[in-house]
Amino acid sequence: MEEILISGLVTIVTASCPLIFAGVGEVVTERSGVLNLGVEGMMAMGAVGGFAVAHISGSADLGLLASIVCGMLLSLLFGFFTQYLLINQVVSGLSLTIFGLGLSALIGRDFVGFSGLGFPSLFPDFLRDIPVLGRVLFDYNYVVYLSLLSPFLVSWFLFKTRAGIVVRATGDNAEAAHSLGIRVVKVRMLSIMFGGGMAGLGGGYLSVIYTPLWVENMVAGRGWVALALVVFAAWRPILVLWGALLFGGIAIIQLNVQAFGLGIQAQYMTMFPYLATVLVLVVMSKRSIFQKSPRSLGRLFFAD
């Protein structure tokens, strides 16, 4: 039983990483007043770009860097449409997801069937061999620790720095921020790029580290879950961390239920984490959480 609990905790943490990266990045994007529904597509491009570069170069670190770049490049396309051509953000985001999924499938068809490089743990064996706490605390690579740290760093940025205040001011009232001399479009473009890079890193984590291979649609709806986590967290990065761990825990529960052979069809159990996410959002909406959203979220900004 102890081994099952330890393995479950470790798996929950590792399964939560892509959601944390994508969710925290989307928090910054939405705090600037931009609703980017293209997270799924950016994660898919990060996954295929990261795996392709890692496979060709033989370096997993270069693969992760490439995944960030791929996510940023796709987010720039979204930013150009919404901030310069002033196209509806919802339409642009959905189009970005469809485009990213299709392009990733096209690029990735030459990499199907190849295995990844593997990624070493950050700490030495003697720390990981400590009874109970060794695996729970030290059996991860540096990307996992970065994901756990990122919500705290982004929270400090948003609420403790001048630049973070500028981002939040842009999201709360773009016109007022513009009247104070803030370059709204520039702030939003940088926020969009950050969100794209984090989503790409989440996708790269999936293909380079978590399941080191490439298969089409391997993101499997995690981008949509990350969007839901932003609402669940009331646009606060640290709460995204707990929401991602909760979703990871639910995902592990459904896998264990299947392993125990309870006779429930696998398709129903696969639906369970996403159904739970929807139910949580319904409950949170009853508590008027949507009143806490940035007031300019999803609104186009027309400069004078």
246-274 pLDDT, tens digit per residue, is 887 776 766 665 555 556 665 666 666 66
Nearest to 191 by CA among 163, 230, 172, 224: 163
- 36 versus 293: the higher-pLDDT residue is 36
Listed range (28-42, 108-122, 142-156, 213-227) with the worst mean pLDDT: 108-122
Q: What radius of gyration do the chain's Cα atoms show?
A: 19
Digit-coded pLDDT (tens) for 182-231: 999 999 999 999 999 999 999 999 999 998 889 988 998 899 989 988 98
pLDDT band for position 119 (50/70/90)?
confident
Q: Among residues of the chain, what percentage have pLDDT more than 90?
A: 55
Q: What is the mean pLDDT of residues 12-31?
A: 94
**Residue 23 to residues 9, 59, 223: CA-CA distances in angstroms?**
21, 26, 8
Q: What is the mean pLDDT of residues 115-133?
A: 73
* DSSP one-letter code for 123: S
Mean pLDDT over the full length of the chain? 86
Nearest to 68 by CA among 139, 143, 4, 133: 143
243/151 Cα distance (integer angstroms): 12
Most confidently modeled range among 11-15, 139-143, 149-153, 251-255: 149-153
131/119 Cα distance (integer angstroms): 23
Would residue 113 be called left, alpha or beta, if left means φ above 0 and alpha means ψ between -120 and 50 degrees? left
Q: Which domains does the chain have, with CATH numbers?
A: 2-292 (1.10.3470)
pLDDT band for position 79 (50/70/90)?
very high
Distance from chain centroid for Cα 174: 25
What pLDDT does 3 receive?
65
134/140 Cα distance (integer angstroms): 10
98/264 Cα distance (integer angstroms): 32
Listed range (50-54, 236-240, 276-280, 295-299) with the worst mean pLDDT: 276-280
DSSP string spanning 70-118? HHHHHHHHHHIIIIIS---HHHHHHHHHHHHHHHHHHHHTTSTT-B---
What pLDDT does 126 receive?
66
- Tokens in use for 259? 């392993």
16/106 Cα distance (integer angstroms): 27
Helix ranges restricted to H, the chain = 2-31, 39-57, 60-79, 89-108, 125-128, 133-138, 142-160, 162-172, 174-179, 184-205, 222-232, 237-259, 266-286
What pLDDT does 248 receive?
77
Q: At residue 291, does pLDDT exceed 60?
A: no
Q: Which residues pair with 115 in a beta bridge?
A: 213
